[in-house]
Amino acid sequence: MRKTQGPLAGVRIVELGGTGPVPFCCMLLADLGADIVRIDRPPGHDGGQPGDPRFNLLNRSRRGAALDLKKVEAKAAVLKLVGQADALVEGFRPGVAEKLGLGPEDCLAVNPALVYGRMTGWGQDGPLAQAPGHDINYIALTGVLHAVGTAGGPPVIPLNLAGDFGGGSLYLALGVVSAILESRRSGKGQVVDAAMVDGSASLMTLFYGMYASGYWKDERGSNRLDSGAPWYNVYETKDGRWISVGSNEARFWRQTLEVLGLDAAQMPDQHDRSRWPEVQAKFAEIFRTRTRDEWCALAAGREVCFAPVMSLAEAPGHPHLRERGTYVERDGVVQPAPAPRFSRTPGAIQNSPARPGEHTDVVLGDWGFSAADIAALRTAGAIV
């Protein structure tokens, strides 16, 4: 068995290779020590990141075996892996895994304690289950996309963080780990149905509560956390860069006014919504009088919620992130370090992203396949 580092060391997972949220979920689990074998798809399959595989960071920390799942011998090989695994994770459209002979019934038949993790956008059932879609569509349906943006402007796309990764990968990772814990108590496996519409809706729980209470307006840019409030917004500085302000609490609000050179006694009440546009305009005017770094220097050591808006190139060099080791460099590629952190069993990047099928023979050997077994798979064309 492969030796890995992290709190999930000893957990074995089979990943049916895909793109987006499933690889990110498995990256998180592998960074925390799970021994994951990724079943890579045949060359030419639609999807994935083109170019040098070492930049496909979502594939880091695990090894891959390239198998053609349309071959009966490859399916048998995967089921042999499943028989030794704690979990399997797949991200096909509903019904595809069943057609391949690798659905939940097939896998639980050979391993009744298996956790079968499924990732889809719309879910395994419902009117849209078979419809194509991407992150932007899933967060559109659940109200997330409608809520993000400025007053009078269009919805702002939050990359693919809220659907693919937040509502998908993180919920699937939590579901798989939770089900593995339960399986070890009961000896019984189960299916984890992680749908991005469900996860992204769950992420909106706070806002649905505030909306029901009447506190949250169902309009972009009119609330305290969506750029409506002057004290929770971003402002352009003299040098064309940006500062973020998040002074929700009264004491932070007062300190922010001091940094800006404003007299609190002369300012409207912080929560007077009718005056927010006026205050926001004043803030914008003042912020344009200094550079981003000058504002950071003025705010340093003060009880204000200030932070510079850093670019991808700048963020790894920020003193706080550099001291914490939030970013690391591996094989010449700067990337985020594993998270969260553990005091006794820290996770680690187990290995850089592998080329598709790079570890086929080694992985299969580690999981109990003999040299003759591997040769037979290659002869049958099951190994790509």
Same domain, 259 and 368: no
Segment 269-277 mean pLDDT = 95
Among this protein's residues, is 45 annotated catalytic?
no
Residue 1 has pLDDT above 80, yes or no: no
Spatial CA neighbour of 384 closest among 17, 13, 43: 43
Same domain, 150 and 199: yes
Q: Collect all residues with Cβ–Cβ distance below 8 Å to 134 and sequence separation of at least 6.
A: 121, 160, 163
Please give the pLDDT value at position 44.
58
SS3 119: strand
SS3 38: strand
Task: Please give the order of strands across the beta sheet that includes 306-308.
Answer: 232-236, 242-246, 306-308
Query: Which pair of tokens denotes residue 18?
Result: 């895909």
pLDDT tens digits for range 70-96: 999 999 999 999 999 999 999 999 999
Please give the pLDDT value at position 212.
98
State which residues form the domain around 260. Answer: 232-236+242-308
Residue 49 has pLDDT above 60, yes or no: no
Residue 51 has pLDDT above 90, yes or no: no
**pLDDT class of 20 with cuts at 50, 70, 90:** confident
Same domain, 255 and 350: no
What CATH number does the domain containing 300 carry?
Answer: 3.30.1540.10
Query: What is the separation of C-alpha 32 from the centre of its chain, rounded to a whole number of angstroms?
Result: 15
Residue 166 has pLDDT above 50, yes or no: yes
Same domain, 295 and 345: no
- Whether 21 and 92 have beta carbons less than 8 Å apart is answered as no
81 belongs to a structural domain: yes
Among this protein's residues, is 164 annotated catalytic?
yes
CA distance 177 to 171: 10
Same domain, 333 and 302: no
Taking each helix axis from N to C end, the angle separating 21-31 and 170-186, rounded to the nearest 10 degrees, works out to 60
Please give the pLDDT value at position 54.
85
Query: Which pair of tokens denotes residue 364?
Result: 């299969």
CA distance 223 to 246: 13
Same domain, 197 and 61: yes
Same domain, 300 and 347: no
Same domain, 301 and 344: no
Please give the mean pLDDT across all residues of the chain.
95
What CATH number does the domain containing 157 carry?
Answer: 3.40.50.10540
Residue 46 has pLDDT above 60, yes or no: no
Same domain, 195 and 252: no
Segment 298-326 mean pLDDT = 96
CA distance 99 to 115: 19
Q: Is the dihedral of CA 280, 286, 290, 293 positive or negative?
A: negative
Residue 201 has pLDDT above 60, yes or no: yes
Same domain, 278 and 333: no
Write the burial class of residue 13 (CB in 10 Å: 0-12 exposed, 13-18 middle, 19+ buried): buried
316 belongs to a structural domain: no
How distant, in Å, are the alpha carbons of 3, 257, 298 from that of 36?
Answer: 11, 52, 48
Q: HSE of 128 in the Cβ direction (CA atoms, 13 Å)?
A: 13
Q: Which of 255, 278, 308 is the last residue of a domain?
A: 308
- Whether 286 and 260 have beta carbons less than 8 Å apart is answered as yes
Same domain, 68 and 131: yes
Residue 45 has pLDDT above 60, yes or no: no
Segment 257-269 mean pLDDT = 95
Residue 57 has pLDDT above 70, yes or no: yes
Of the listed 45, 125, 134, 331, which one is catalytic? Answer: 134
CA distance 334 to 36: 23
Query: Which pair of tokens denotes residue 4?
Result: 């890995």
Of the listed 86, 164, 193, 198, which one is catalytic? Answer: 164
CA distance 114 to 95: 19
82 belongs to a structural domain: yes
Residue 50 has pLDDT above 80, yes or no: no
Please give the pLDDT value at position 52.
83
CA distance 172 to 130: 20
Taking each helix axis from N to C end, the angle separating 292-299 and 250-259, rounded to the nearest 10 degrees, works out to 120
Which secondary-structure segment (H or E) carries 227? none
- Whether 115 and 90 have beta carbons less than 8 Å apart is answered as no
213 belongs to a structural domain: no
Please give the pLDDT value at position 42.
76
Query: Which pair of tokens denotes residue 114?
Result: 């298996």
CA distance 219 to 151: 7
302 belongs to a structural domain: yes
> What's the total number of domains in the chain?
2
Instruction: Write down the pTM of the prediction.
Output: 0.95
CA distance 100 to 64: 19
